[in-house]
Structure 1
């Protein structure tokens, strides 16, 4: 079985401009290499999105690697030193969109797997093309499909760029939940010189936003910072200086720890909007979208094993963190314990995103050691 080169594979993946929801052949690159490594590959297309579940082995335990081939747009081309999809190597660095988020990690795990003829259990891949988008036809749908097939995954590593300053200094053992809410206050348009003939929705909206922001949601939760509400926009679309607007919209986002659920926070915001509407004689609509619930993978043998491998490989005590935004781990946690361990994320989503060749090789070595340690500890023959 041929050993894969993580650098060449990273370049091959970057060269496919798979900006969500486009696939641009990126999933074919993954599938073709996995088939050559003896994996049974199942392509799962939902809507516009290409997804892949691949498996090699028939017995437990099943160690899964999850990742995404889609990337955010390259941005202003003139600001890039090189073609964002050229995957060029300069000064020991692979430059291109998706280098660290997260085509490099996919390549590193595939290269690590190629070093093993067999393991006492099963290796699998869950790869989606819908992580950077609205995430409705990606991992969440694949997880539903896996459940319908009674497919058992025992543990999962997500290759998000979890490292902060150097490889292995941080893993993600949980994530905060996220909910967006849009408030629309309906008023009555009129001339600013005759306010008695109008109903200005803006003061109502401003007071509502102030009340939302004033609440201390909590003081924190074990392993999590305090939940946080941010006002992200207040808008009327009013271009005139002498018109009271017809309506006004405001939007907030809450990143919340396990002290709350999305449904609970939605009920609170809807109730507050209803109270303000009654007090002010206006109509207020509250539209909420919960994009993920907070979760934590508890300390235990799996998390400890990953931390021990990182210490042996990199000489660092990894920070078991819950910081950052959301990831597809929020869907996978419904299947099994899950954590995130990948490249240094300093340049993710930025112009001139890049990864050091040395880091790709070092992460491959770490992933290889992790696979060996995992099946030594949890394997069916252990």
Structure 2
């Protein structure tokens, strides 16, 4: 029997967090290449520090001769990301920071591995990927990470709209949620640290500013006089973003997924095209886990996939319903290949991933989002639930 009474904590970080600035630039570069060449293979990494952004990695195009032409756009892409996030600080400004582009052609040996021995498309690397879903929220996500994201999205909205001009781009949230009989019932601790533009603001001033937005983001019954608040607990937070702390693509993998409520395979997402199973198979695993829960087969589901470089089909499929399943896990595992082709090509086709849809994933989580009309967040659909039930 899974534990029913406990407190669990998850954190989120804003789009202005140094690592998220880097994720945003890497995914924007990926989208730019996919917009020109849906079969582009991209692994873009970004590093950011005071007044400097360095971009590196590999790119493979259908017409590799066009790579030099596209390279001239990278500088503008990075600056546009930084501007949209909102950085116009003396030591990190979208218009004046130095940008170094070190992207180059993809390794022929890696490309060969993806092609596979039989000419069918293999996985771009070995690895394990996890998906997770739980019925504790409408989005079928764990409550602590879902609401940590929601708080920061709301603060970003009022900052960027001009309603709260004293808020800065860099922020972190953290919620400790108490569970009773397996259900989230109360927030015991709230941690919110946000950059502010007025140097004279105290921690109390910042709390007065952000508290109404935090309260409107959370179910009212989860907050009480016993809830402990920690807002800018270290005091002033004026110097933020890459000027305050260096950033790197792919360093917030738990924030990007389930807030620690589920296992993580270890591979980051941002900057990677969907031939990389680190990204596409993690999306497929979430899609399957969500549909298993949506189908009523279980209240919670963890799903693992594993791959080998150059091999198309997954080496294993593992399902754990944590004692909440309506049928044996082995039956669900057997049904999955009947309803979805889990080769890299099959995943990309089923979820329509060869599109410039990734910049929007770079902040506030890759999961628990609403599917977009243009195909963004397609892995959040629940359109496979009926097929899964019929396949049992």
TM, length-normalised to structure 1: 0.21
| Pair member with larger Rg | 1
TM-score (norm 2): 0.21
